[in-house]
Amino acid sequence: MAGSFGSPSDDEIISGINITPLVDVVLVLLIIFLITAPVLYQSSIQVQLPKAKSGDKSQKSPLNFTLSKEGTLHWDSQVIDWDTLTQRLKTHEGHLSEETAMISADQATPHGTVIRLMDVLRQAGLTRFALNVDAPAN
């Protein structure tokens, strides 16, 4: 036998499986899922917006609030309670006056809950609000 130990000669059958390409593919898929998961989760908040014939879908805001019909409050995609909302708004206090708060409330949400959210935001220094509606495509 004229070859190095452990290396197969030309006439031997290779019985091992190289899993390196499999690991590479799995890691790439994992990275793709980790990147897309927050986008999927953010759009998974189920809110039935009220319908309006005049609405503007082009407004975007870093302060997106969602109220579900059960009264659950979300800031972007995170569930937040009323006390935590007040504390987090205090940390953003300096530049809130220039921002617009986008409020997406389910049509079954009580009016008082929306007013309560607007009152908390106004006390934190926000003066501009936008109510999200389900507007027809232009």
Specify the DSSP class assigned to residue 134: B
Q: Identify the CATH number of the domain defined by range 63-131.
A: 3.30.420.270
Task: Give the Cα separation of 110 and 115 in Å (integer).
Answer: 9
- Report residues of the chain scoring pLDDT below 50: 1-3
Structure tokens, 117: 């959210």
- Predicted confidence at residue 1, as pLDDT, reads 45
**Cβ(104)–Cβ(65) under 8 Å?**
yes
What is the residue type of 19? I
Its pTM stands at 0.57
Question: Domain map of the chain by residue range?
Answer: 63-131
Specify the DSSP class assigned to residue 93: G
Query: Which tens digit of pLDDT belongs to each residue from 14-37?
Result: 778 888 899 999 999 999 988 888
